[in-house]
Structure 1
């Protein structure tokens, strides 16, 4: 809620370097296809393949991986930033998009977008304020690499205006001024009070709860340890060997070990953490223990049994189908659980 329509939340994300849903890269590859480009060519150097980005593939990518795809697309289509931005809609953003569409008013939608901007694909973090009778959003790209700055400012600012205008019939009358460094979007403050046709308090609460869970996971750690977690998850099926992850980060194994120690952790601890979290999710979903072991990169089920006893004091079989302890039910046998599962990107 926006008190008196005069205050807007400050985004919790302060910069662009945070883990992202893999849907952001999928969207860029989809746009590339419409322009006759080879999507595989955009993935060169990312450590990702087309198979990784199919349904059931990786769920998260690092900012560096997505930025490399952006850079490859911009190299081939240098003036396409705004055109790419115009292809987004609320449905592009999973749970965040659903929270937007089920908001009571435009103001509620703007507020939830700002609070959970790190669940979008944005590299340019908007700052919005009410100035007299207008909402003014500044998207400053100064912190971005110079070679992709103009492309991303145009893309992200156009996406914001496109999604915002689609919330209500006729749009909100937003004007957008663009330059290579930054963009300014403005519209009448009275538009914040306009109701959305799909406003639904229950559904909005559910979507926002999913957003909170997702954001909490991504905000739980920052910097190098978080990048390592994402890369371990991507390579877990092959055991996530440390030399492979180190190479993906442009580091030697020795350097990565030293930097993780300085950050108060270790590669083994992060690998164990990722495996434990994913094991809980997969076992809760009812997957056979042998299948979970393969997904976690174990050579045999016995290794998973041993690790699971160390983590929980129980066998993996005792955890299969257990009731999850999360803010939103994951049980797909209930309407709420099915909807929450569908919202998760």
Structure 2
């Protein structure tokens, strides 16, 4: 199982409490009481993501992700934060951050795009439905920016972004984003990115310490190894099912699910094989269950249901449904309206 430190969720809930958001009912639905959790506990990433997607539906402030991301404490990253502070240069901070990003609270993958004069720190985006997609982008981007600001504050450095790109339409409260990031913000971008001048990345950290850095690197390596062993021993099939159940309009690809759960696609597919299943089989099981639900409880057309399930053409959906159930979607709907039918083989 892939997991996160529970401290990340505590930061999120505490930020929302400061904003006057009552999260008790939501947490209780998932059997959680943060006031009685051990601070060193861990939470399954798929459960945490499911909780945040439900939370996004209840929030009324569209830009609240900025406040949430700003609530993550730098010291809460443990040895990882000390590793960053003992690097020699800002560029080494970036590379260490990428190598050990599984030790953070991120759900998406960070990457670095080097350029001649400017470079970009890029955050991949999860294929979630709105408003969860924007909440996750804002929360993670603001959390990354908060970490950069904390390093700058601790070390009195001039490290900042010259532009921030966000991959969703310009909102009415766009000015809040420029005020928060302290630089121009480009909306409707293809990717979520921080643009930085290469000269800033060459800045040397006054706290650079090779011996201490080697010590914290070994500690981070041990933590990373523990996470990898945890992932290898978990039930990946259940995690994949839980993650796919988050989506109401189409499903993400195996590569996207693997990234969300903290695996490589190759590792995820291997683990599913060892558990006697595959990503395709799990996806078909969920599509069949979702199709039956929509045919029984909605008035959506077969074409609309096909679209919700991620089929480009209704003919492909009809063929798949016949293979699953032995009848067409239209016939299945009529039979359900008329009364019980024998179970499909």
Question: TM-score with structure 2 length normalisation?
Answer: 0.56
Q: Secondary structure at the match of 2:114?
A: strand
Report the counterpart of residue 202 of structure 1 in structure 2.
211
Is residue 188 from structure 1 mapped to residue 175 from structure 2 by the alignment? no
Is residue 119 from structure 1 mapped to residue 103 from structure 2 by the alignment? yes
Aligned partner of 2:50 among 68, 81, 86: 68
CA contact (8 A) 1:106 1:192 kept: yes
Report the counterpart of residue 301 of structure 1 in structure 2.
none
Superposition deviation, residue 176 in structure 1: 0.9
Residues 101 and 131 of structure 1: CA distance in aligned 2, closer, same or farther (over 3 Å): same
Aligned partner of 1:217 among 209, 218, 226: 226
Is residue 263 from structure 1 mapped to residue 272 from structure 2 by the alignment? no
Is residue 156 from structure 1 mapped to residue 144 from structure 2 by the alignment? no
* Higher alpha-carbon Rg: 2
Superposition deviation, residue 31 in structure 1: 0.7
Superposition deviation, residue 199 in structure 1: 2.2
CA distance in 1, matches of 2:198, 2:272: 47
- C-alpha distance after superposition, 1:176-204 (max 9, x if no partner): 12133741111011222212233222222
CA distance in 1, matches of 2:55, 2:78: 23
Residues 40 and 94 of structure 1: CA distance in aligned 2, closer, same or farther (over 3 Å): farther
Superposition deviation, residue 122 in structure 1: 0.7
Can you give the 5+ residue segments of structure 2 that lack an aligned partner in the other structure? 169-189, 240-270, 277-345
CA distance in 1, matches of 2:49, 2:166: 21
Superposed counterparts of 1:260-299, under 5 Å: 263=275
Q: Secondary structure at the match of 2:196?
A: strand
Superposed counterparts of 1:98-109, under 5 Å: 98-109=82-93
Q: Secondary structure at the match of 1:138?
A: strand
CA distance in 2, matches of 1:44, 1:84: 20
RMSD: 3.1
CA distance in 2, matches of 1:260, 1:154: 32
Aligned residues: 219
Residues 144 and 101 of structure 1: CA distance in aligned 2, closer, same or farther (over 3 Å): farther
Q: Secondary structure at the match of 1:220?
A: helix
Question: TM-score with structure 1 length normalisation?
Answer: 0.56
